[in-house]
Structure 1
Amino acid sequence: MQATTPTAEGHDRIVTKPHALAPTWGVVTAVVLGNGLEFFDFTVYSFFASIIGKLYFPSHVPLISLLAAVGTFGIGFLLRPLGAMVLGGYADRHGRKKAMNLTILLMAAGTGLIGFAPTYASIGLAAPAIILFARMLQGFSAGGEVGTAGAYLVEHAPPGRRGLQSSWLLAGAGGAILLGAGLGAALSTVLSQQALESWGWRVPFILGLLIGPVGAYIRRYLDETLPEEVHGREARNAPLRELFRNHLRTVLAVSSVAAVGTSATYVLMYYMPTYATRSLGLPMSTALLSSCLAGLMMLVLCPLAGMICDRIGRKRAIAIGVIAMAVLIYPSFMLLKAFPRIEVLLGVMSVLVCIYVIFAVPQITLMAEQFPQSVRASGMSIVYAIAVAIFGGFSQLFVTLLIAWTESALAPAGYLLALSLISVLALFFVKEEPGQLDAE
């Protein structure tokens, strides 16, 4: 449990007290499971987008089926802002623990619906409707999961280690991507195309369904970080009203800072296997290795990036990473186009993921440090939801359309370059107050 004392700036300093679930690894595991389920589900959906498009959005033109599948993937992100307002506000009024238990169960329900949904050939238009509803349910729940889980980790962090503590949110996502990509690669290698389309693609979704009850059970033993005095005050004064009345400029600025982070997540981690197969001509089982590598590197490097941003500051770390992305993204895709081989793909992914974690990890901590505890879950949830809804969730759809319209395999690089510039400019409108939330 943690208590707060108000600062002169109106933010809440956090004073750590003993918590119910020890050691800290238990707390981290319990918190990151929900975010991990989100990334696991998105990973396997992205990897099997072509099959899902064929089974649920049939068309004589394969590109149209793929666009329908990745478009449905993006639809879920439109529900994120609503989920952020409803579930983020719930977390600020009633506590992080209750909100996280709710979000992980809702997310698991959406995952299960996809895993067991009959195909278009079986029930007609009801099939894509089920997929659409499942994605909307997942988007709604994910809208509250990331901000609430991030707020909990930051509030639970020891003084001076908030970057490291919050880094486990992305490290866990990397582990989930590794697991999802590994399952996808294994199934694509072991099963025939017929078996993969018949039942094999469902296996990861059904396994993902099990994470929900397990995660909810483990989260029962988490202690609450929202003090009773804050709980009581915010139960009477709606956190969303306070957020938009006093922190709207901050919400817009930090959402813009997160633009390149959310877009890079879905282009590099999820779209790259589809890009490698459709634009580079690599086999799916081989292309999936790039995402396995990306997940492994996130799992290993995110804590290191967290320690670095604790030492040099959030804004400086973000600026270094985003500028490096802007400089290297075009050469990376030009290299892929010139030498479409697996070793080149893995080398390019290694460089881009290293750059990605440099700016993605401190973005999480920066979000938390912009808001007082009374509206922190709402603020983080809405900031992340806006960035994902506008820039990240539809990245696969935008990039697929850009490649089709421009007939250029370099279109993804142009998309990420443009968002890198937006994020760098937005940093000028965000204040960094080192240690403002740490205990005395």
Structure 2
Amino acid sequence: MATTHSPAPSELARMRKVRRAGAIGNFIEYFDNALYAYFAVTIAKLFFPTVDPVAGLLSTFAVFGVAFLIRPVGGVVFGHIGDRLGRKRQLILALLLMSVSTTILGLLPTYATVGVLAPALLLVCRLLQGFSVGGESTGAFVLVVEHSPAGRRGRNTAPLIVSSIAGAASAALLAMITTSVLSAEALTAWGWRLPFFVAVPLGIVGLYLRLHIDESEAFKEAAKESAVINAAAGHRHAPLIQAFRSVPKELFILFCWVALQAVAGYLTVGYMVTHLVQFEKLPMATALGVLVSGMVIAMLACSLFGRLVDRISRKKFAIMISVGLAIWVFPAFVMMSWGPIPAAIGLGIFASMQYATMISAGIAIVELFPVDVRASASGFAYSVAFSVFGGTVPFVATYLSANFGATAPSYYVIVFAVIGILVARFGLPNAREMDVIADPLEQQSPSNSGPTATTPLSAHATD
């Protein structure tokens, strides 16, 4: 049996820098998207004032969803940059665009000032946000997981998930404080804009962190090999074209798994607050407090899930999470009507399992795709899944609740959870058994000098 070695202090320091650089983008992504959702009722009044409240809310969520349509374009463009020029450049450019577009959204004139130009400008800002997220959403996972030995990928991916939850929770907390401190008139007049300006200092911090990281050794080696091959051939295909030729099945597998993640995820951050306000009649501040409490539960749980996925097979972990979502989503919706404390507990358990799907997705991105097409393939599959399923969740959930009852959105999640069980069982790589083989920390042991210690089991699962 191989002897496990603890990472050297320099290795731990390098990994911490990489995790921070990846996590800051996830934080900003979820912070920005959540802010829009949390202020959906106010934005509906200011940018779509000529329609009834439900129709205005649906219009606001439609703009939220349209932004997801451009995510695949961002995934392709930024993925190409990541595979050709490096993950670092990809993530820096995506971060800058995300921060700038969010800041501009907070400066937009309203319908009362410029008429129909207001919702048009709102749409442009959301499209820019969606384009940048297409490069950010998978880029951070690729960066961190590529730097991680296979047996530690779960625990190194978990901080990215925790940062995503923290971003959504911070947005909720900031929105809760804003709505509690300001009067309704002040909130509508100018207060809703203030949280969007937080994108400026966050962007500066993120830029600093990402300027001080290096590419993974896997990417460096792949870049050298690619340069030699292309110099001999005289041309090269775009990474996404290569991916469609070499790993089409893997593209479909990731797409299907991320569909579950998208539906459950944006039900949490894009719809639940509106549900509590619109259908359960809770005050906005109380609804945001419920969400923040649920997010705290999810952050604690995901830290533990990150270690669990390194101890059991990837398949078992993903199946467990999918089954849990299918079973728990209906009780979670029922608990929404029992008061703030039961609602927070129900939402916290649901969010814990929902965010755990991101851990599986982040690891699968690296274990499904070869390093030379990884950013493009994962960016495309991930963004298309979110475009088709994620951005439409608030709209679909609002419609289902309004027409079929408050618990109706739960059945929508159950359908995707069942699909997730099938994908986990038959599609996701079961890489846990190859961790010792792929883990360079394990390979340092003299007892691993035999041929099985250095021979990869899968070209797609190891770097």
The CA distance in 2 between the partners of 1:117 and 1:176, in whole Å, is 23
Q: TM-score of the superposition, structure 1-length normalised?
A: 0.91
In the TM superposition, what is the alpha-carbon distance from 1:237 to its structure 2 partner?
3.6
Determine whether 1:372 maps to 2:367.
no
Question: In the TM superposition, what is the alpha-carbon distance from 1:18 to its structure 2 partner?
Answer: 10
Matches for 1:22-101 after TM superposition, within 5 Å: 22-101=13-92
Deviations 1:171-201 (A, max 9, x none): 1111111211110110111111111111111
In the alignment, which residue of structure 2 is the partner of 1:278? 278
What is the aligned partner in structure 1 of residue 382 from structure 2? 384
Larger mean Cα displacement after TM superposition, 243-252 or 422-431: 422-431
> What is the Cα deviation at residue 430 of structure 1?
3.3
Residues 349-364 of structure 1 aligned to structure 2 (within 5 Å): 349-364=347-362
Match of 1:173 in 2: 164
Which residue number in structure 2 is paired with residue 429 of structure 1? 427
Deviation at residue 368 of structure 1 after TM alignment: 1.9
Please identify, of 94-103 and 364-373, the stretch whose mean Cα deviation from structure 2 is larger.
364-373
Moved more, 47-56 or 162-171: 162-171
In structure 2, the partner of 1:9 is none
* Mapped contact 2:287–2:340 kept (Cα < 8 A): yes
AA paired with 2:213? Answer: L
Residues 330-370 of structure 1: per-residue CA shift (max 9 Å, x gap): 23323434x2x111211211221232244332222122210
- Shift in Å at residue 231 of structure 1? 5.8
In the TM superposition, residue 269 of structure 1 has moved relative to its aligned partner by 2.5
1:214 corresponds to which of 205, 211, 214 = 205
- Residue number in structure 2 paired with 1:396: 394
Cα separation, 2, equivalents of 1:20 and 1:303: 21
1:397/1:361 CA distance change after superposition, 3 Å? same
Q: Is the 8 A contact 1:103 1:142 kept in 2?
A: yes
Residue-pair matches, total: 422
Q: Tell me what 2:109 maps to.
A: 118
Q: 1:374 to 1:334 in 2, by over 3 A?
A: same
Say if 1:161 and 1:115 are closer, same or farther in 2 by CA, change over 3 A. Answer: same
Structure 1, residues 148-190: CA drift from partner, whole Å, max 9, x if none?
A: 1110000111341011111221111111112111101101111
Task: Indicate conservation of the 8 Å contact 1:95/1:224, yes or no.
Answer: yes
Asked if the contact 2:142/2:366 (under 8 Å) is kept, the reply is yes
Change (3 A) 1:159 1:425: closer
Q: Distance in 1 between matches of 2:429 and 2:243?
A: 17
**Which residues of structure 2 form unaligned runs of 5+?**
1-6, 444-463
Contact 1:147 1:379 in 2 (8 A): no
Does the Cα contact within 8 Å between 2:142 and 2:362 map onto a contact in 1?
no
Pick from 175, 179, 182 the counterpart of residue 191 of structure 1. Answer: 182
Aligned-pair identity in percent equals 33
Q: Look up the match of 1:109.
A: 100
**C-alpha distance in 2 between matches for 1:173 and 1:400:** 24
Deviation at 1:220, TM superposition (A): 0.8
- SS of the equivalent of 1:149 reads helix
Matched, 1:148 2:146: no
Structure 1 residues 230-269: aligned runs within 5 Å: 230=225, 232=227, 236-269=236-269
* TM-score, normalised by the number of residues in structure 2: 0.87
Contact conserved, 1:21 with 1:222, CA < 8 A, in 2?
no
Q: Which amino acid counterpart does residue 330 of structure 2 have in structure 1?
A: Y
Say whether 1:127 aligns with 2:127. no
Equivalent position of 1:3 in the other structure: none
Residue of structure 1 in register with 2:415 after alignment? 418
Q: Is the radius of gyration larger for structure 1 or structure 2? A: 2
1:437 offset after TM fit, Å? 5.2
What residue is the counterpart of 1:12 in the other structure?
none
Whole-angstrom distance in 2 between the partners of 1:48 and 1:224: 38
1:298 aligns with 2:298: yes
Bigger drift between 424-433 and 107-116 goes to 424-433
Paired position in structure 2 for 1:323: 323
Check whether the contact 1:318–1:360 (CA below 8 A) recurs between aligned residues. Answer: no
Contact 1:88–1:377 (CA<8 Å) still a contact in 2? yes
